[in-house]
């Protein structure tokens, strides 16, 4: 029978590979969590813009009320699963004046995905959309 002992360099290589893995793994995990969090933030930012846009579109109609705008924004924000938001509406009285809908949501309140402390995120996400008031058709 031919028994050979593992060579000393083989053991050393395995030890070095394990050490490299231990050193690199935290960096890779931080990058992974960062990519996930920022992707989630971009998704929620798009949903926030859509809610503000739909609110401004409703507000641009000649017969629109603030309640109509709030209803649309509330529906869209509920569909997106975001809570704790504030809506600021600037209405227009004359045809052609801008109607502005601004929606702000705290990031750590109802938006964050992981909340990993090493990934910097904004305090609030905000979207503001303006559209011209339409006249009677």
Phi-psi region of 96 (alpha: psi -120 to 50; beta: other; left: phi over 0): left
H helix count then E strand count, the chain: 3, 3
Percent of the chain exceeding pLDDT 70 equals 89
Task: Enumerate the domain spans of the chain.
Answer: 8-132
List, for residues 7-65, the tens digit of each pLDDT value. Answer: 666 667 778 888 888 999 999 998 998 899 899 999 999 999 999 999 999 999 999 99
**Please, is 16 exposed, middle or buried when counting C-beta atoms within 10 Å of its C-beta (0-12, 13-18, 19+)?**
exposed
On average, the pLDDT of the chain sits at 88
- The average pLDDT across 82-111 equals 91
pTM score: 0.79
Per-residue model confidence (pLDDT) at position 109:
65
Per-residue model confidence (pLDDT) at position 115:
73
- The average pLDDT across 76-81 equals 94
Cβ neighbors of 115 (< 8 A, separation 6 or more) are: 108
Q: Please, what is the end-to-end C-alpha distance for the chain in angstroms? A: 98
Range 77-109 burial, b when 16+ CB lie within 10 A, else e: beebebeebebebeebeeeeeebbbbbbbbbee
Higher-confidence residue of 18 and 100: namely 100
- The average pLDDT across 91-97 equals 91
């Amino acid at each position: 029978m031919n028994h050979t002992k593992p060579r000393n360099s083989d053991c050393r290589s395995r030890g070095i590979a394990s050490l490299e893995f231990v050193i690199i793994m935290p960096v890779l995990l931080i990058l992974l969590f960062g990519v996930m969090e920022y992707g989630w933030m971009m998704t929620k930012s798009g949903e926030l813009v859509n809610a503000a846009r739909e609110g401004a579109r409703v507000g641009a109609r000649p017969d629109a009320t603030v309640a109509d705008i709030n209803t649309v924004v509330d529906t869209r924000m509920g569909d997106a699963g975001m809570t704790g938001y504030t809506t600021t509406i600037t209405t227009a009285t004359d045809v052609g004046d801008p109607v502005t809908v601004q929606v702000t949501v705290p990031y750590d309140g109802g938006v964050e995905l992981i909340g990993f402390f090493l990934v910097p995120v904004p305090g609030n996400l905000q979207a503001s959309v303006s559209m011209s008031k339409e006249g009677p058709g």
